[in-house]
């Protein structure tokens, strides 16, 4: 066989190997053919294509450049060169090569498809869609162009059309792993994680080491509340691709759900070693360290996070940042940055200015926490008390259905209780429009399972931020935030994108039906001293700071026989706090940890055994402070700089105990000592708390109901008159 014939046979063998997916063998056969017949365009182009599939873009580019020196108008070489440039250089550079190829061959479907990819990367989405459509007009069964078109439609948020495009690609090419992966992605966007999971599983059956599919499979599993399986999926992705930053970040979410905080710290360290500027990772590391009370880097990390937030960086999520900064200005910057990144206003709002005409004002409460959760325990009584002659009350629930006692109670409290977990943000917004909801009250903010995207679609004429998140959401589509003069003083108005609505007593609703167990356990049962003074702080450990802990340890040093009673949130935090106590000269046994108990009424009964609740800062107790006061335990707080640091002060004012609000750290410490040593003074405060609980506004659910309904009416009336949102104060009602 002569050289040319041998080269031709090697070329045909290589082509068969390439079609079978045996790329390494195909590469070798093409190289042998090229050695026998140097400069053959078909061989060089196919070898370049194999190099591209093997992600060896430098070698592919060299081949293309050599070929184009010989044949400057070889459209396939120009296409392959563009594909290399898209990976190695930039989309702008690649686009020039694709356009040259199309100048040679205007009806070149492959070049039109790749050009669509470059335009997609450049965010020139309409042009990208047109390029894909031109490719499909030439080649209707072009699965890759259909997949690419789906990607453009996904970016355009035309989710139904994107799904249809992927399905068309898969009808032509059922084993197309990339289209199955992308189909899963659009299903995630549509809030259909079960179907997304099935799509990822099909992709992985074809391509088991598909790291991106393993990563997104993990995300779908997290959405389905299967964190252990999600963690395993992320680990498989990272075994394939150890420097996969997104998988490391998502793995952190699984560890957080599993409560494996110590591992979470190391996970964030690994992520930051791979990609030091990964969005929100530094704040995530700081939060994990705070959850574990690992404070070695606290001061430096908190200062750097605040500096980055002020610079407009995606340094921390808003909820995490509440525990880091007392600055309402910085908290506003953090929320604005986060909302612009994650929850921008929809281009086409669902509600477009219509005026609904109903006999009753229709209010929808949006929450993931309509179950055994602190928010539900605070607000359940309000739902039941609402005036049904004037209001139609709906629940829009997008959190877990735990089917617990509280869930059963809440289902009965609404005119309509709608579980929307399987719906997309847009579909939920459309549902609210269909129901002609006048007022949408978001009880979630930026807390776990939040769905701000619903309100980003402008689901209702009036949209409110209330209760679940103590701060501004930084979103122009949230009209109002409900507060009071203590949590949002007048001089802070500029730090809120929402208009401020003041309730006359306290912004926080409370349920006067909350039960407290009749039996109080003994101190001995819970490891507390029979006679020693019991300082208590049942706040979550991420709210603890070294400065606050210094004060607490000095209190223990000065008050002989006293103990500090804390919640056992996680084992690592308990270990670290004991070590921190020893370093401050305090016996670790003077820290007593209370395990979680299943029923709130039993937890509330435990408060009776404590003498004084010590609050935290910059993030004070919220529902925890209400729990303590409801159970008869005085709360000592310090007035903070922002909403989250002023909640306990608002509660104390509303229960008639403003003397328990300290103005400085020094005053806080001095007042704690005074109360510990002056048992008569403390007994007097406890007696007044017991009396005030029944007579002051804080726990008067029906009084609160009248005030918040008055707020709703004023907001609704402004909307009916076509007036923009404006702040106002609800007058004191008898």
CATH number of the domain within which 530 lies: 3.40.50.2000
Contact present, 82 and 97 (Cβ < 8 Å): yes
Within 13 Å and on the Cβ side, how many CA atoms surround 406?
25
Residues 361 and 459 reside in one and the same domain: yes
Mean confidence (pLDDT) of the chain: 96
The most distant pair of C-alpha atoms in the chain lies apart, rounded to whole Å, by 111
Residues 377 and 324 reside in one and the same domain: no
Q: Is residue 130 part of a domain?
A: no
Residues 444 and 365 reside in one and the same domain: yes
Give the end of a domain, one of 44, 75, 106: 75
* Residue 245 to residue 276: CA distance in whole angstroms: 10
Helix (H) or strand (E) holding 4: helix 3-20
Chain centroid to Cα 671, Å, comes to 38
* Residue 369 to residue 428: CA distance in whole angstroms: 17
What CATH number is given to the structural domain containing 38?
1.25.40.10
What would the pLDDT profile of 70-114 be if each residue is shown by its tens digit?
899 999 999 999 999 999 989 999 999 999 999 999 999 999 999
What CATH number is given to the structural domain containing 419?
3.40.50.11380
Contact present, 141 and 156 (Cβ < 8 Å): no
Please report the pLDDT score of residue 4 as a whole number: 76
Q: Is residue 393 part of a domain?
A: yes
Helix (H) or strand (E) holding 440: strand 439-442
Give the end of a domain, one of 75, 96, 120: 75
Residues 335 and 431 reside in one and the same domain: no
Q: Is residue 391 part of a domain?
A: yes
Q: Is residue 232 part of a domain?
A: no
Residues 536 and 605 reside in one and the same domain: yes
Q: Which domain holds residue 418?
A: 343-512+703-734
Q: Measuring CA to CA, which residue among 448, 488, 495, 503 is closest to residue 473?
A: 495
The arithmetic mean of pLDDT across residues 405-411, rounded, is: 97
Total domains present in the chain: 4
Contact present, 349 and 383 (Cβ < 8 Å): no
Residue 312 has pLDDT above 70, yes or no: yes
Q: Is residue 415 part of a domain?
A: yes
For 237-290, give the secondary structure using H, E and C.
Answer: HHHHCCCCHHHHHHHHHHHHHCCCHHHHHHHHHHHHHHCCCCCCHHHHHHHHHH
* Residue 529 to residue 684: CA distance in whole angstroms: 22
Residues 302 and 357 reside in one and the same domain: no
Residue 347 has pLDDT above 60, yes or no: yes
Give the end of a domain, one of 322, 342, 362: 342
Residues 608 and 717 reside in one and the same domain: no
Q: Is residue 641 part of a domain?
A: yes
Q: Is residue 532 part of a domain?
A: yes
The arithmetic mean of pLDDT across residues 430-448, rounded, is: 98
Contact present, 98 and 114 (Cβ < 8 Å): yes
Residues 507 and 629 reside in one and the same domain: no
Residues 590 and 475 reside in one and the same domain: no
The arithmetic mean of pLDDT across residues 315-335, rounded, is: 98
Q: Is residue 127 part of a domain?
A: no
- Residue for token digits 């195909």? 26
Residues 337 and 390 reside in one and the same domain: no
Residues 692 and 554 reside in one and the same domain: yes
Please report the pLDDT score of residue 84 as a whole number: 94
The arithmetic mean of pLDDT across residues 472-479, rounded, is: 98
* Residue 732 to residue 734: CA distance in whole angstroms: 7
What would the pLDDT profile of 634-683 be if each residue is shown by its tens digit?
999 999 999 999 999 999 999 999 999 999 999 999 999 999 999 999 99
Q: With b meaning 16 or more CB within 10 Å and e meaning fewer, what string describes 549-567?
A: bebbbbbbeebeebbbbbb
Residues 540 and 480 reside in one and the same domain: no
């Amino acid at each position: 066989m002569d050289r040319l014939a041998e080269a031709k046979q090697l070329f045909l063998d290589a082509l068969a190997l390439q079609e079978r997916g045996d790329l390494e063998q195909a590469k070798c056969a093409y190289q042998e053919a090229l050695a026998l017949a140097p400069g053959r365009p078909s061989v060089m182009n196919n070898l370049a294509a194999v190099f591209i599939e093997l992600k060896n873009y430098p070698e592919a580019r060299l081949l293309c450049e050599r070929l184009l020196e010989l044949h400057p108008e070889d459209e396939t070489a120009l296409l392959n060169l563009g594909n290399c440039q898209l990976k190695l250089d930039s989309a702008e550079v690649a686009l020039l090569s694709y356009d040259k190829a199309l100048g040679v061959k205007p009806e070149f479907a492959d070049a039109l498809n790749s050009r669509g990819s470059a335009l997609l990367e450049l965010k020139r989405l309409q042009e990208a869609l047109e390029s894909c459509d031109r490719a499909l007009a030439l080649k209707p069964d072009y699965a890759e162009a259909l997949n690419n078109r789906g990607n453009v439609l996904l970016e355009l948020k035309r989710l139904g059309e994107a799904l249809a495009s992927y399905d068309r690609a898969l009808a032509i090419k059922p084993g197309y792993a990339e289209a199955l992966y992308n189909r899963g992605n659009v299903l995630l966007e549509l809030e259909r994680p079960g179907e997304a999971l099935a799509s990822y599983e099909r992709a992985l059956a074809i391509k088991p080491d598909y790291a991106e599919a393993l990563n997104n499979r993990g995300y779908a599993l997290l959405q389905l509340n299967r964190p252990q399986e999600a963690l395993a999926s992320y680990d498989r992705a990272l075994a394939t691709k150890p420097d996969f930053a997104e998988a490391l970040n998502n793995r952190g979410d699984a560890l957080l759900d599993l409560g494996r905080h110590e591992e979470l710290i190391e996970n964030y360290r690994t992520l930051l070693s791979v990609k030091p500027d990964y969005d929100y990772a530094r704040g995530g590391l700081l939060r994990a360290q705070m959850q574990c009370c690992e404070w070695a880097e606290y001061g430096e990390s908190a200062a750097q996070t605040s500096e980055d937030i002020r610079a407009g960086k995606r340094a921390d999520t808003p909820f995490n940042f509440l525990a880091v900064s007392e600055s309402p200005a910085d908290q506003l910057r953090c929320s604005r940055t986060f909302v612009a990144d994650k929850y921008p206003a929809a281009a086409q709002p669902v509600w477009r200015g219509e005026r609904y005409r109903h006999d009753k004002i229709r209010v929808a409460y949006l929450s993931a926490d309509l179950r055994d959760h602190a928010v539900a325990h605070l607000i359940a009584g309000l739902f039941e008390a609402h005036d049904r002659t004037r209001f139609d009350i709906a629940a829009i629930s997008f959190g877990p259905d735990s089917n617990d006692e509280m869930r059963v109670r809440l289902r009965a409290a609404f005119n309509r209780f709608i579980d929307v977990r399987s719906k997309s943000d847009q579909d939920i917004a459309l549902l609210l429009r269909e129901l002609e909801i006048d007022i949408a009250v978001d009880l979630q903010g930026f807390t776990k399972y939040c769905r701000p995207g619903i309100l980003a679609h402008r689901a209702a004429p009036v949209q409110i931020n209330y209760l679940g998140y103590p701060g501004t959401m930084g979103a122009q589509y949230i009209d109002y935030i409900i507060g009071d003069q203590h949590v949002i003083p007048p001089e802070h108005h500029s730090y809120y994108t929402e208009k401020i609505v003041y309730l006359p007593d306290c912004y926080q609703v409370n349920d006067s039906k909350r039960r407290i167990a009749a039996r109080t356990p003994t101190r001995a049962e819970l490891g507390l001293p029979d006679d020693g003074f019991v300082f208590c702080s049942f706040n979550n450990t991420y709210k603890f700071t070294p400065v606050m802990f210094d004060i607490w340890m000095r209190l223990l040093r000065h008050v002989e026989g006293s103990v500090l009673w804390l919640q056992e949130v996680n084992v690592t935090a308990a270990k670290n706090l004991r070590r921190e106590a020893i370093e401050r000269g305090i016996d670790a046994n003077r820290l007593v940890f209370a395990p979680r108990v299943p029923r709130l009424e039993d937890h509330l009964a435990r408060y009776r055994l404590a003498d004084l609740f010590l609050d935290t800062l910059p993030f004070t107790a919220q529902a925890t402070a209400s729990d303590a006061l409801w159970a008869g335990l005085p709360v000592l707080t310090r007035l903070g700089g922002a909403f989250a640091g002023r909640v306990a002060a608002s509660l104390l004012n509303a229960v008639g105990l403003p003397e328990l609000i300290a103005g400085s750290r020094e005053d806080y410490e001095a007042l704690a000592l005074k109360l510990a040593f002056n048992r008569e003074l403390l007994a007097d405060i406890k007696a007044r708390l017991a009396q005030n609980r029944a007579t002051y506004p804080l726990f008067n659910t029906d009084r609160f109901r009248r005030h918040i309904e008055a707020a709703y009416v004023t907001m609704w009336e402004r909307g009916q008159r076509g007036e923009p949102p404006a702040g106002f104060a609800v007058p004191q009602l008898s």
